[in-house]
Amino acid sequence: MVKYSVKKLDRRNKEVEVYCDMGNVEIDRGVKMIQVRLDGEELSSLTFDYGIRVSTIFDIRSNVLRRGYATMLLSALIDIVKIHNLEIKNSIVCIIKSIQGSIIPVDAIIEYDELYRFYEKQGFIKDKRLLKLIE
């Protein structure tokens, strides 16, 4: 997979693009970013990487709140990991079995408790930490 690009409608029925350039993705080699864009302008982003059997979320940022962009980003990350797993199924590279990370509010736009509840609502909290098992 070189590029992940999906068109979606936000909560105000505006069409946005969820995009990630997947070129040169290697295990433990570099951070990738998924973006929600409108007319090429970044509205929200999620940075992550691939490790051995795990993908790590570093941060999730949004310039515009309450439009569903963060939910789109998490959904895209799950899609990307599943596509990655299908592509490497018969190779020596390890299949990613989970997504993890730290719950750290960025830029003080959202409080820790609200971010925790968001991840919990999306099914990304297990044993009180950010963890999503990939089936």
Integer Cα distance of 4 and 101 in angstroms: 22
Q: Total domain count for the chain?
A: 1
pLDDT above 60 (res 126): yes
The beta strand positions in the chain, using DSSP E, are 3-9, 15-21, 32-38, 41-50, 54-62, 98-101, 125-126, 129-133
The terminus-to-terminus CA distance of the chain in angstroms comes to 20
Predicted confidence at residue 83, as pLDDT, reads 87
Predicted confidence at residue 1, as pLDDT, reads 55
Residue 51 belongs to a domain with what CATH number? Answer: 3.40.630.30
Question: What would the mean pLDDT of 10-17 be, rounded to a whole number?
Answer: 95
Predicted confidence at residue 57, as pLDDT, reads 93
Predicted confidence at residue 53, as pLDDT, reads 84
Integer Cα distance of 122 and 131 in angstroms: 11
| pTM to 2 decimal places | 0.88
Could you tell me whether strands 54-62 and 129-133 are parallel, antiparallel, or unpaired per DSSP bridges? unpaired
pLDDT, tens digit, 9 for 90 and up, residues 65-107: 889 999 999 999 999 999 888 887 767 667 889 999 999 887 7
Residue among 3, 1, 2, 6 at smallest CA distance from 72: 6
Integer Cα distance of 32 and 110 in angstroms: 23
Question: What would the mean pLDDT of 104-127 be, rounded to a whole number?
Answer: 91
pLDDT, tens digit, 9 for 90 and up, residues 19-56: 998 765 555 567 889 999 999 899 999 999 888 888 99
State the residue range of the domain holding 25. Answer: 3-133
